[in-house]
Structure 1
Amino acid sequence: MSKGQITKARILHQAAELFNQQGYAGSSMSDVMDVTGLKKGGIYNHFKTKDELSLAAFDYAIATLAQHHRAVLRQHHHAADRLLGIMAVFSSFIDHPPVAGGCPLMNTAIEADDAHPALKARAQQAMTNLRKLLCHIVDTGIAKGELQPAVDSDVFATILISTIEGAIMISKLYDDPVHLERAIAHLTDYIDEYLRI
């Protein structure tokens, strides 16, 4: 990597963590300068606007999350174990988030709502990709005889994501991981008792 590419990667990493902790609206370019140690011109040399940086930082955060998902999929072959592995990635968000500040998808979805249409569109696409991944795991598991054939993969994906993201939010609100632990335990029981063949 060239010096410029290394600097750009460092800006993305540090900006992704800043935005994920303070929000996009709550982070100024001065904040970005503080965390990167660069002057405004050094940042604008790589990103023309704060909006461009925010989109690139979100993409970076989601790519980091996706790396964790791919690692889990490489480790497990049975569909139920793959689902449990994806859940383990999310359960790590309380103590060891892939990007400081928790789940970048949930944080961005909440903040971007209607205030930042381009960021909202990115968050929607990232959520669609996550839902497609879960549906693919379930549908493949059904086809291979690993999961119960009656399960609706799209419904399951919605319930799994909603349960985990809601539990992450409650755990962060109370600074108590027990809420996420309860949700993971419930989903684990469901997968092992009702889905797994």
Structure 2
Amino acid sequence: MKFGFLYTVQYICNMIRSEKTRNFIIEKTAKIFNKKGYTGTYLSDLTNATGLTKGSIYGNFKDKNEVAVEAYKFNYKFQTEQIISKISQEKKAIDKLIVFLNHFQKSYKQIFENGGCVILNTAVDSDDGNELLKIEVIKSINKWQQTIVLILDEGINNKELKKININEFSYRMIAMIEGSILLAKTLKQPEILTKNIDYLKTETYQLKKE
């Protein structure tokens, strides 16, 4: 009986250590994957970033695919949690949309330093390659679009916003943000992003009912 109890305790301790190691690897490699992409990230990058051996890394993950997917999820969660936190503090739909846009306008330096938008980077990186990453990116885009749709729908139902095609508007907003991040970062001209965000703000304010 005592042996069984000790075995269970040891098993739980090992599971906790394993989970801590997994999280450590994900946190240390997330920025690398976002900057260098799946193809451009090598095992040596992972071992250098974590200080762990190949055996330690692949003892906690099936392969590089799994590390990349978990790193993507970590990056996406980090990016979206900041936005959702800001949105949740607002009551009116119009204010939620403006806060959403302000995030990209005010946080672009941090986004650029971390390698750019994780959704955009991973979408390009996985388009003709890693199917698992592509699936995660599609999920993220759908969640992002649905968040905007829900805010717009709420505003229209509350008679706060004019009736519009909410699907078209939400996809246009996402496309302009992502395209602007790509151009601004590549050309090193942040004003491309900030000015396009200003345009989106103007368009958003025009949705307000008289």
Equivalent residue, structure 2, for 1:119: 133
Task: Using structure 2 for the length normalisation, give the TM-score.
Answer: 0.87
Question: Partner residue of 2:123?
Answer: 109
Q: Structure 1 residues 53, 92: CA separation in 2 closer, same or farther (over 3 Å shift)?
A: farther
**Per-residue deviation, 1:123:** 0.6
Q: Is the CA contact 1:17–1:99 (under 8 Å) kept in the aligned structure 2?
A: no
The reply to whether residue 177 of structure 1 matches residue 177 of structure 2 is: no
Structure label with greater radius of gyration: 2
Percent of aligned positions that are identical:
28
Tell me, which stretches of 5 or more residues in structure 1 are unaligned?
none
> Does 2:54 correspond to 1:40?
yes
Among residues 168, 171, 175, which one is paired with 1:162 in the alignment?
Answer: 175
Deviation at residue 70 of structure 1 after TM alignment: 1.6
User: For 1:138-168, what per-residue CA distance to the aligned partner results, in whole angstroms no more than 9, with x for missing partners?
Assistant: 001111112112x111001111000011100
- The Cα of 1:89 is off from its aligned counterpart by 2.4
Give structure 2 stretches of 5+ with no counterpart: 1-12
TM-score normalised per structure 1: 0.93
Show CA shifts across 1:75-111 (max 9, x none): 2111111111112222345312298111100000111
CA RMSD, 1 decimal = 1.7
Count of aligned residue pairs for this structure pair: 195
Summarize deviations over 1:34-83 as a string: whole Å, max 9, x none.
11111111211221100011111111111112211220122211111111
Query: Greater helix percent: which structure?
Result: 2
Equivalent position to 1:26, from 40, 46, 57: 40
1:40 partner letter:
K
